[in-house]
Amino acid sequence: MHSRALILAASAAVLLVISGTRVPIAAQQGAAKPPDMLAIQVMLDRARFSPGEIDGKGGPNTTRAIEAYERAKGRTAAEGVAALDGPVTMPYTITADDAAGPFDAIPEDMMEKAALKRLSFASLLEALGERFHASPNLLKRLNPSAQFTAGETIEVPNVLAPPEPTSGAGVSITVTKGTSALTLTDATGAVIYHAPVTTGSQHDPLPIGEWTVTAIVRNPTFNYNPDLFWDADPAHAKAKLPPGPNGPVGVVWIDISKPHYGIHGTPEPATVGHTSSHGCVRLTNWDVTAVAALIGKGAKVTFRE
């Protein structure tokens, strides 16, 4: 089935997986009901074809992930949902450590950020969203009565843990500006990871060409240089910003041979694939964590139109 037709129709035999229960999809007025969007997004995430932030609604990131999945796997996303191993959502009990944080209000101003000891999550809901690759609003919709406190059991998307670090031998990175996507391929050319990205703007265009990975830095500090930002406050000075998931480059910085450019995380997962950046390639924190685990220093990096 054509990927764009997926939203309109799917096989009546598809089994939709919801909260641990497999439920047959019934036909309505002679046509089969398509798979639930949350099920599609979770399936894509588990297959390492990330839709970005899971919101249960879909959009361009999900559509591109479906197309990439179907090209690589040779089957429809509806068939992928039918073969999904495990439920779409699962119960999770919030621990005391989860609730303890630390959580801090994060200022907008870069100089104020530089004065902090850390750039941590602002709330438990934000932290849970990152852990389960979900928008905070989706978690609220799944748990309309939840207070999100220690000891409470909530429903969350059933996503996979990040892959274990590998040598990354033979794995290369391709970032395609036109589709706002990053793809990892192995030595045989097979796709092993696909994720939405934000690339440069007209002020800071993506540097088209071939580069290499020179370093992979986890939990990075950020060396802020206002001279490299066209929209920087003229009163700003160079500063070192502390690490944390709400830092400008998130939880991972993948340095490349192009000076001042890299592939990194973001404190705003909902913006990935939808807004421009200052030239670098930005992914959700969970996607860049997975990418960092699957590549190695010296990996080939291609930026293309």
**Which is more confident, 225 or 112?**
112
pTM for the whole structure:
0.86
Each residue of 167-191: pLDDT tens digit? Answer: 999 999 999 999 999 999 999 999 9
Strand partners, 100: none
Question: For the purposes of burial, counting CB atoms within 10 Å of the CB of 70, is it exposed (0-12), middle (13-18) or buried (19 or more)?
Answer: buried
Identify residue 251 by its one-letter amino acid code: V
Q: What distances in angstroms separate CA 36 from CA 9, 16, 17, 19, one per listed residue?
A: 11, 7, 9, 12
Task: Provide the pLDDT for residue 19.
Answer: 37
Task: Look up residue 178 and give its two tokens.
Answer: 């036109």
Looking at residues 134-140, what average pLDDT do you find?
Answer: 98
Is it the case that residue 23 has pLDDT exceeding 70?
Answer: no
Is it the case that residue 8 has pLDDT exceeding 90?
Answer: no
Task: Provide the pLDDT for residue 260.
Answer: 86
Residue pair 104/122 in contact by the 8 Å Cβ criterion: yes
Is it the case that residue 131 has pLDDT exceeding 70?
Answer: yes
Looking at residues 2-18, what average pLDDT do you find?
Answer: 36
Task: Provide the pLDDT for residue 232.
Answer: 72
Task: Provide the pLDDT for residue 33.
Answer: 53
Task: Provide the pLDDT for residue 184.
Answer: 98
Task: Provide the pLDDT for residue 24.
Answer: 32
Query: Domain 172-304, what architecture?
Result: Beta Barrel (2.40)
Residue pair 40/81 in contact by the 8 Å Cβ criterion: yes
Looking at residues 258-282, what average pLDDT do you find?
Answer: 87
Each residue of 51-93: pLDDT tens digit? Answer: 999 999 999 999 999 999 999 999 999 999 999 999 999 999 9
Residue among 222, 270, 251, 252 nearest 110 (CA): 222
- On the CB side of 103, CA atoms within 13 Å amount to 12
Map out the domains of the chain as residue ranges. 3-82, 89-157, 172-304
pLDDT band at residue 239, thresholds of 50, 70 and 90? confident
Distance CA 267, CA 277 (A): 13
Distance CA 78, CA 229 (A): 44
Task: Provide the pLDDT for residue 196.
Answer: 98
